Amino acid sequence: MRVSELRAARWAAGRVFAAVVSLLTAGCGSGEPVTVIKAALSQNPSEPQVRAVELFSDLVAEGTDGRVVVQVYPSNQLGNQRDVVEGLQMGSVEMANIASVMASFVPETNLFELPFLFDGPEHFDAVMDSEIGQRLVPDFERRGLHLLGYFDVGERHIMTTDHPIETLEDLSGLKIRTMENRLHLATFEAFGANPLPMAYGELYTALEQGVIDGAEAADPNYFAKRFYEPAPYWVRVGWIRLVEYVVMGRSFYEALSADDRAVIDRAARTMIVQQREWYRAEADDALERLREAGVTISTPDREPFRAAARGVYEEWADRVGGIERIEAILDRSESGSTRR
């Protein structure tokens, strides 16, 4: 049995035990009404984001003596990400992790959607856990959302259906699925591709039917969703390190008691730290699995991709707070020293 499979088996057994304990605790409570948090996710149940939110669920149940119950809905059960954000604002959904679609609702998040912005996981943590990440909290609040923190969902690469991408020129004219984010579209246009925004749940079928020539993803979801079946060419360019915004509806969060908010805040921090650790380990394991599955993996020279992306920085700087804010991120390192 693989180390990752053994970890998963132990984790699953722990989840069963925690669920039993939670039910017993709730059954022995004081009869107070139970507050339900519906958490919407797009990932499969086995993926790190879902497991992290389930950990959050356990911690919240324990910390509130069963007064607050987090129900986890993976695999887009509550709708696509745009629908879920609208649900958060209207109160039909209480919690979600949202990727780049968030920029349609909180445009300030486009700052973190720039290509080649983060120089590895340590740099990501140093930026997102600093005042740079916290600066966006009021922007979320103005849109009816409460920001719990940031998931790291890894470096993104490019999959293709018919042939590998060896150079930037090989992307010319290819129909590449992107998330519903204008900055992502601008980046792939700069790469010479023909980007096509599409809901995540439609991606496999679109690849299989030849509606598109490829898409972008990270190692774990490329493997977990079996996108390598219709798109067996995997081009590791690391064009972006993707952020997922972990949010609650602001009205819902503020209606909770101060004690319950404190439990949620502590549980959220534990969840976020654990998700990053799990995701990074999962990415290493997924890449190994992809090699074993016979996927054609190439690693082209990234510098032409970086050079093409510089025009995106110039075009978008004023829309994301100015070039100074971009440079503050580029210059941040774990130790606080500059990296350029």
> pLDDT (tens digit, 9 = 90+) per residue, 108-145?
999 999 999 999 999 999 999 999 999 999 999 999 99
Is the pLDDT at 241 greater than 70? The verdict is: yes
Is the pLDDT at 5 greater than 60? The verdict is: no
- The per-residue DSSP string of 243-296 comes to EEEEEEEHHHHHHS-HHHHHHHHHHHHHHHHHHHHHHHHHHHHHHHHHHHTT-E
Is the pLDDT at 225 greater than 80? The verdict is: yes
Specify whether the CB–CB gap between 158 and 207 falls below 8 A: no
Which has more confidence, 220 or 271?
271
For 243, list phi and psi in degrees, rounded to 5: -100, 140
Of 16-20, 73-77, 81-85, least confident by mean pLDDT is 16-20
Length of the chain counted residue by residue:
340
Is the pLDDT at 263 greater than 50? The verdict is: yes
Is the pLDDT at 74 greater than 60? The verdict is: yes
**CA 191/CA 6 separation, integer angstroms:** 41
What pLDDT score was predicted for residue 271? 98
Is the pLDDT at 218 greater than 90? The verdict is: yes
Is the pLDDT at 30 greater than 80? The verdict is: no
> pLDDT (tens digit, 9 = 90+) per residue, 272-285?
999 999 999 999 99
**CA 107/CA 3 separation, integer angstroms:** 41
- Which domains does the chain show, CATH number per domain? 3-330 (3.40.190.170)
What pLDDT score was predicted for residue 316? 95
Per-residue pLDDT band at 44 (split at 50, 70, 90): confident
Region class of 248: left (phi > 0), else alpha (psi between -120 and 50), else beta: beta
Give the H/E segment covering residue 40. strand 35-40
Q: 98-127 burial, b if ≥16 CB within 10 A, otherwise e? A: bbbbbbbbbebbbbbbbbbbbbebebbbbb
CA proximity to 35, closest of 74, 72, 61, 62: 61
Is the pLDDT at 8 greater than 60? The verdict is: no
**CA 308/CA 44 separation, integer angstroms:** 34
What pLDDT score was predicted for residue 325? 92
Helix, strand or coil, per DSSP, at residue 69:
strand
**CA 23/CA 18 separation, integer angstroms:** 9
Q: How far is CA 320 from CA 67, 112, 182, 185, in A?
A: 40, 9, 13, 16
> pLDDT (tens digit, 9 = 90+) per residue, 296-329?
999 999 999 999 999 999 999 999 999 999 999 9
Specify whether the CB–CB gap between 64 and 266 falls below 8 A: no
Per-residue pLDDT band at 18 (split at 50, 70, 90): very low
Contacts made by residues 185-188, CB under 8 angstroms, sequence distance 24+: 186/312, 186/315, 186/316, 187/115, 187/239, 187/240, 187/309, 187/312, 188/216
> pLDDT (tens digit, 9 = 90+) per residue, 78-114?
999 999 999 999 999 999 999 999 999 999 999 999 9
Number of neighbours of residue 87 by Cβ within 10 angstroms:
18
Which tokens hold the place of 257?
Answer: 């008691």
What pLDDT score was predicted for residue 31? 67
